[in-house]
Amino acid sequence: MSEQPLWSLPIERMAPEIQSSRLSPVEIIDSLLERIDKYDGEIKSFVCLAPNARAQAEAAAAEIAAGNYKGPLHGIPIAVKDNYFTADMPTRAGTQAAVEYPKTDSTCVAKLREAGAIILGKTNMHEFAWGNETPPTRNPWDTERVPGGSSGGSGAAIAAGFVPAALGSDTGGSIRIPASLCGTVGMKPTYGLVGRSGIVPHSWSLDHAGPLAATVADAAFITEALVGHDANDPGSVDRGKPDFASVLGASVEGMRIGICRNHFFDALATDVGEKVEKAISQLSKLGGKVVEFEIPNLKYGLAAIYAIELASSTAWHDPSLAAGMTADYQSDVRTLVEIGRFVTAPDYLKAEQLRRVLMEDFARAFSDIDVVVGPTLPLTAWRIGERSVRIGDADESVLAASWRLTYPWNLIGVPALSIPCGIDSRGLPIGLQFAAPPFKEVDLFRLAYAYEATQDWKGVRAPFKV
């Protein structure tokens, strides 16, 4: 193995070493815990570390030594967002309010444990997954800037080299936004493919579970482990066991690359626009056939996601609202939870009708396209406390800008993946977003892996100094 530090290795590099017993899960966990101890006081990505992390690593090492190797996640430390229930750690969903959640493993955490992963700890999140900044977590690429959210702790922990991968959840972009701002891969699978029981709900028909990881292959390994029917999730579907790993390295010659020129390319920061166009050219050089199209109805999408997300979130928080507990929420989240009461039932249903229209629009587009490609965000990480940003000639609120390009894929429930595609003039990562028809995760992994292989930043972590 190279002299590369253990904390910087992606799963795809660690796994063969662990399988062959050249590397012990105990060495890895010790390396990560030392790094977390040294630097997470500044980054603030973890809210809790598993008290038994080293014991989990020792158990994994013993299993592997006994010839019971389970696969690429065996002995690999993975962190989970603080809205996933865990049997050995408390769940707070990012809040300081007096809430209590069961100490039992969520379906996803149970699946990771079955695959042999070590659950290293819980990562910070924007309170109740209702925001894109994740205070007080800092972005390791520039600690004066936000890591994004709501899975910001997961993105920051990977970027800082504290863990090779982490789970996030995504209602309007909450996996892909921190992935883009922290320079990691982030994967939101098709709605229903990954079971959500044991995750604190935010908006039932928009919530998705999935991983953030250092590389595309790592994200594929974890997604593969998470897929499966969840009897306690009414949105869950049974699609059988996938094989994402087998498409990694497959040719992308002839793949049809869709570029939706309206909405996804409106008002982009200059560096973002340039890097994304360069990435599209690269995909073309790899054999992709570029097809441009437009979806005019996207101009109504913001109204639809707001109506659905606000109404759903408020319905879920209703007992807390009735009990006056929302006064203990952070002010931004309290406001969002309270204003959900203003969404009328006809507005909500019209949003669900618009959603159907968009699903049909994209279904038509996908008859000529395999993967839609565009930016994940129109900007890179903004400064902590900054409320609006200037993009091109206009000011835009950071909340509006941050999810403008991600929420369409939550509205229609298709798989979407964010992958780094370069660095801006301030040294901050830029995200490229891929989306595919429902249950076509294989095409996302295939194309993203091929693109990643052409870039010299694969698996890179933030060059942060404390």
Partner 1 sequence: MKNPDLVRDVLGISLEPERVEENLAAYADILQEIAKLRTLDLSDVNPAVTFSPIVAAKGTVNE
Which residues are marked as active site? 81, 150, 174
Q: What is the number of H-type helices and E-type strands within the chain?
A: 15, 13
Please say which residue, 161 or 378, places its beta carbon nearer to partner 1.
Answer: 378
Quote the tokens at residue 75: 């002995």
Q: Which is nearer to partner 1, 191 or 221 (CB)?
A: 191
In the bound complex, what is the minimum distance in angstroms from residue 298's beta carbon to partner 1?
12
Binding site for partner 1 (CB under 8 A): 205, 229, 231-232, 234, 238, 299-300, 302-304, 306-307, 310, 322, 335, 338-339, 341-343, 347, 349-357, 359
Closest distance of CB 147 from partner 1, Å: 24
Indicate the residue among 98 and 345 with the shorter CB distance to partner 1. Answer: 345
Q: Name the β-bridge partners of 166.
A: 79, 212
Give the Cα separation of 196 and 320 in Å (integer).
22
Identify whether the C-beta of residue 210 lies closer than 8 Å to the C-beta of residue 226: yes
Beta-carbon contacts of 351 under 8 Å, excluding residues fewer than 6 positions away, are 303, 304, 305, 306, 307, 308
CB of 24 to partner 1, least distance (A): 39
Q: Rounded CA gap, 384 and 118, in Å?
A: 32
Element (H, E) at 54: helix 53-65
- Alpha carbon 327 to its chain centroid, in Å, reads 29
In the complex with partner 1, which residue's Cβ is closer, 357 or 460?
A: 357
Residue 183 per-residue DSSP state? T
Nearer CB in complex with partner 1: 206/214 = 206
DSSP letter (8 states) at residue 45: -
Contact 380, 269 (CB under 8 A): yes
Report the alpha-carbon distance of residue 148 to residue 138 in Å, rounded. 9
Backbone phi, psi, residue 376, to 5°: -80, -45
CB 173 within 8 A of CB 264: no
Beta pairing partners, 417: 187, 434
Nearest distance, CB of residue 60 and partner 1, angstroms: 30
Of 266 and 338, CB closest to partner 1: 338
Shortest spacing between CB 116 and partner 1, in angstroms: 26
